[in-house]
A and B are shown apart, each in its own frame.
Chain A
Amino acid sequence: MSDAFIFDALRTPRGRGKTNGSLYEVKPLDLLGTALEKLRLRNQLDTKEVDDAIIGCVTPTDDQGFNIAKAALIHAGWHQNVGGLTINRFCASGLEAVNLAAAKIKIGWSDLMVAGGLESMSRVPMGSDAGPLMYDPELINRADYIPQGISADLIATIEGFSREDVDAFALNSHQRAAEAMQAGYFAKSLVPIYDRSGLLILDHDEYARPDTDATILQRLRPSFAATGALGFDEMALHKYPLVEKINHVHTAGNSSGIVDAAAVVLMGSKEKGHALGLKPRARILSIGNASVEPTLMLTGPGPAAQQALHHAKMQSKDIDLWECNEAFAAVVLKFQRDLNIPHERLNVNGGAIAMGHPLGATGAILIGTLLDEMERRDVQTGLVTLCVGGGMGVATIIERI
């Protein structure tokens, strides 16, 4: 079996995912289209050579509906040979796209692929595709299915993470992100967004607030207490009756931000890369998929990472750098505790708490961010993982060439 290699990874900046965000005026088609266009230019790619493009998108409706992957390929003028597949594994969609592409390449049924993700949360708000897990009252009550923020608060309650703990983690994320941005660590993979006349719209992650300090974080009110009081807190206790009450520790400051972005990764076999003059930067060592109890929901990264380690015959100490998506601070703290990960190797350049989490795109963004940092530090192995709605987790281990 051959190896699946990463040749390139890039992303757009993350715009605030609201109507006051810089990328709100940019339609999702252009966001993904720009990323594809830049990937083609940067690699002088003859797109005829690409077999398929898999794009993760969590809310594939409206401006992101009707197979946005294929739509963006046509829009970007890619060759008709390139197919487009839109997939949804909630927040890990972008990483799942990478993993599926890797699997196809490894087995030899594809030679060159694009994997990536897209989410314009300002244009297509989360949940606007209105599926049963969001809105079917029978399912919601049969499963005691609660909003993610309350799941995160439940994790904090069960694990004993206090408001101070999650805020401290968040502060660190804000600081690390600020330093990394200042030092230009993200510049290599970040492609600015210009308008149709070539005028700049956005060239940096605008959600980040480098001046965030402990006092600011402390002042923020819990985001999910009111929703919990509707009845969702009590639903959580159906599954976790050892808990007296949910400690609502998560706020806008220690949860991931709502943003717009797209990211793409160029992947393929060694032979194909050689033939097209593409230089492999890393290979996919293994992947992991986990599914866990859906009310607690966000504990998937631990078992997913364990599975990936197992497939790669590695142990947690063999990983040089870790990226666990900062959907909520408690998710990462729980993951860190599960795998006993030193803080200085985990999310070293901050994460979604500081810079935002563009749902379907995040997994692909993290692959690029991790690979850039592995190269900068000259270390060999890295693992990316994300927690996933419905109670799932996805992980990927990469190794530099």
Chain B
Amino acid sequence: MIYYKKDTDNIVTLTLDMKGRPRNVINHEIFEAFVPVLEQLKADKKRGALKGVILTSGKKTFLAGGDLDYLYQTNDPAEVFAFCEKMKKFLRDLESPGVAVVAALNGSAIATGFEVALACHHRIAVDDRRIVLGLPEVELGLIPGGGGIVRLMWLLGIEKANHIVSSGQLYSPQEALRVGIIDDLAPNQKEMLEMAKDWLLNNKESRRPWDKSGERIPGGSAKDALVADFIRAEAARLAAKTHHNYPAPQAILNVLSEGSKVDFDTAERIESRYYTQLVMSKQCKNMIKAFWFDSNYIRHGLNRPRGFGKFRPKKVGVIGAGGMMGSGIAYACLRNGLDVVMKDVSKLIAERGREYVRNKLNPLVQSGEMSSAERDQLLKRIITTEDPREFETCDLVIEAVFENAMVKQKVTKEAEAFMDEYSFMASNTISIPITKLAEVSMRPDNYVGLHFFHPADEVPLVEIVRGARTSEETVARAFDFVKAIKKTPIIVKDDWGFYAARVQNTFILEGITMLKEGYPPALIENLGRQAGMPKGALALADDLGLNLVLNYERQAGEHYGPKYIPHPAVEALDKMLQEFTRPGRNKKAGFYEYTEDGQRHLWPELSTHFGPQLSAFERQELIDRLLISQVLEAVWCMQEGVINSIAAANLGSIYGWGFPAFKGGTIQYIADYGLEAFVARCKYLREKHGSRFRVPKKLKELVKETELVGDLLGMNS
């Protein structure tokens, strides 16, 4: 498992190579294996036969993170704390054999894996862009528990450490060198080991900075006025951004603040205590569920139609490539190794797409993340055109033109004329049924919806809309394409609004209903954001346009026919549109008014038109209404087959419209709330506010399926 090799210069190379595993991981096994090795090193040192140690890996990766299955399941703080302290003890032993240790990073080292590297005196990585390094724990509602925060603080100072750990960013070796979390780059593994040895032969210091007396944290501790001011401002930024919903970044800041005022070992123990508290928190469990389990479920293609070989797209056509959506899609494709044909009504307009890509790449060149040669190479892989003939060699063509059925059908026919039966056509629509668009298609079984979200190069979700005649193979290919551009595919039914827009709309409608009931608009907006939504319901309505919001609801009415019960918000929407002609941001008049400088303020007359005005309010009830309305709609979507897995519903909600990640997504919300408590709350809301809070039959079944009834985990006890 750990191979010990000493050379004639008394440099020991330790190679990690865990048996029967594809990757090295941190667990009890490895601690045990290290005990005799560390003893040996101490003995070597005592005999004067040790000059330095190189730690490297026999696998493709250096070392992976901790055991998320365990962290998700455990409900034993004493055990977690003990493990955390044991890991820290191991890392303390590793960094103090009396000689320096070099981490030779031949592959990726993330989370605990990177903490091991931090416990070495010097870090060298092979300059290979496939390698990623960093501490992404915060993305799972966690913090590094192996001393990562405290070591980074001592190496780089509080401000940088806070940025690195609370952003959860993963770095390529070059970026890692730039931010300072590694010390050197090597062109290949062989030279890396030579560089490691050279460094060790020239190095006299075996103590880490925190073990030397008189050494200070770079930039100072939280006792220094400037640092204290930074921490205070950072606390405010964090509060404004997360509304106290995410304890992990708060814990990072707390550990830095408190840990900088005490000695290293005490700081580490403070880190362990925060770590343990977070592992026990609902937010952490919810985020591990969404971003690990649900994400793996989708990554492994459990929703993908089976029996079709993997589709490997090489070349993508984008129609309407001069527009924002088209440019964004093209950029996402290019960055993931695909060639792109950008078509628009004229070559000149299509060129705007290339400009968009250039403007996105330039900052990367400036920051050194990409060379200018690489940028030019990428730009060369774009063909701009007004001629659909260029689509002949494309594996798929995506149209992202103006939201109008006639226009979409026209460009589809033009493109299909040059595409073959092995390629497929995709439409990026938000509100036109795919089945309807496919009516004019030459190959309707090769026609599918691919709903990207704005901004398309950033939002990591794509809805694959299965039309009535879309073949299973086309769905599978669309799925593979979305994965190829590193986005999360969710397969949805061709009903109004698909999944994301339909569920998001219930949030908007609930907010508008509150306005109608007389709640002050500022309250609705503030509580929406404090509930964890990216913006208030009224702001979102304005951004989408009130006509679209109303249109979705009308489509719901048509869908359900006589069973449809009008949403109370419809009346208010009608009033806004008919009586006041305030359709939203587009016309600079909606629930908000818009100033010349791009600012917006709530329309002052709202309070006079809706009411009677209420100033007393039940905060929790309003927040519950805003979130539960979405949760119930998501359950309806599952019941009606609009979406087919809990994983897709959860991740789709977080990525698609920013449903709170700390709740783990729409379905996980129920487990977070506790099934019984949730049902009781819905009953209360239904009696008070109407049948939209009726609980769909599917609910209980779903919660069983998640295997996440809160009580099982003791989360709600």
Contact = CB atoms under 8 A, between A and B. Distances in A.
A277 to B, nearest CB: 49
Given A130-B228, A135-B231, A238-B244, A141 B523 contact: no
A137 B250 contact: yes
Interface stretch (B235-243, B482-490, B495-503, B568-576): B235-243
A242 interface: yes
Contact of B522 (A130, A134, A235, A243): A243
B254 A137 contact: yes
Interface in A218-239: 230-235, 237-238
Q: Is the interface of A mostly helix, strand, loop or mixed?
A: helix
B232 to A, nearest CB: 6
Contact of A230 (B236, B530, B602, B615): B236
B242 to A, nearest CB: 9
B253 interface: yes
**Most chain B CB inside 10 Å of its own CB: which residue of A128, A136, A141, A233:** A141
13 contacts: A135-B231, A137-B234, A230-B233, A230-B236, A234-B243, A238-B243, A238-B244, A242-B520, A242-B522, A242-B615, A244-B601, A244-B602, A245-B601
Nearest to B228: A135
A130 B229 CA distance: 10
B239 A238 contact: yes
Interface string A124-141: 000010100011111011
Interface of B: 222-223, 225, 228, 231-241, 243-244, 250, 253-254, 257, 520-523, 525-527, 530, 601-602, 615, 619
Interface residues of A, number: 25
A348 to B, nearest CB: 36
A130 B225 contact: yes
A230 to B, nearest CB: 5
A150 B253 CA distance: 23
A141 B232 contact: no
A144 B235 CA distance: 10
Nearest to A138: B254
A184 interface: no
Interface in A230-275: 230-235, 237-238, 241-245
Contacts of B254: 137-138
A302 to B, nearest CB: 20
Would you list the 5 A-B pairs with minimal beta carbon distance, nearest first? A231-B240, A231-B236, A234-B240, A244-B522, A241-B526
Contacts of A136: 257
A137 B231 contact: yes
B239 A231 contact: yes
B226 to A, nearest CB: 12
Interface in A323-355: none
Nearest to A132: B257
B250 A141 contact: yes
A234 B235 CA distance: 12
A238 B528 CA distance: 11
Contacts of B243: 234, 238
Contact of B238 (A130, A141, A237): A141
B240 A235 contact: yes
B239 A144 contact: yes
B236 A241 contact: no
A135 B601 CA distance: 33
B11 to A, nearest CB: 43
A122 to B, nearest CB: 16
**Most chain A CB inside 10 Å of its own CB: which residue of B520, B523, B526, B530:** B526
Nearest to A144: B239
Contacts of B240: 230-235
A135 B237 contact: no
B527 A241 contact: yes
Nearest to A140: B235
A140 B525 contact: no
Contacts of A244: 521-522, 525-526, 601-602
Given A135-B232, A137-B231, A137-B250, A241 B239 contact: no
Contacts of B523: 241-242
Contacts of A141: 235, 238-239, 244, 250
Interface in A179-233: 230-233
Nearest to B231: A137
Contact of A231 (B225, B231, B237, B601): B237
Given A137-B250, A243-B522, A244-B525, A232 B257 contact: no
A389 B277 CA distance: 31
Contacts of A237: 526, 530
Given A230-B237, A231-B236, A242-B520, A137 B257 contact: yes
B281 to A, nearest CB: 15
A134 B231 CA distance: 10
B223 A241 contact: no
A241 B522 contact: yes
Contact of B257 (A135, A144, A234): A135
A393 B239 CA distance: 27
A144 B237 CA distance: 12
Given A141-B244, A142-B244, 7 more contacts: A137-B231, A137-B235, A137-B253, A140-B232, A140-B235, A230-B237, A232-B236
**Most chain A CB inside 10 Å of its own CB: which residue of B239, B253, B526, B601:** B239
B542 to A, nearest CB: 14
B239 A235 contact: yes
A244 B520 CA distance: 9
**Most chain B CB inside 10 Å of its own CB: which residue of A138, A144, A243:** A138
Given A241-B522, A241-B530, A242-B615, A137 B232 contact: yes
B232 A134 contact: yes
Nearest to A145: B235
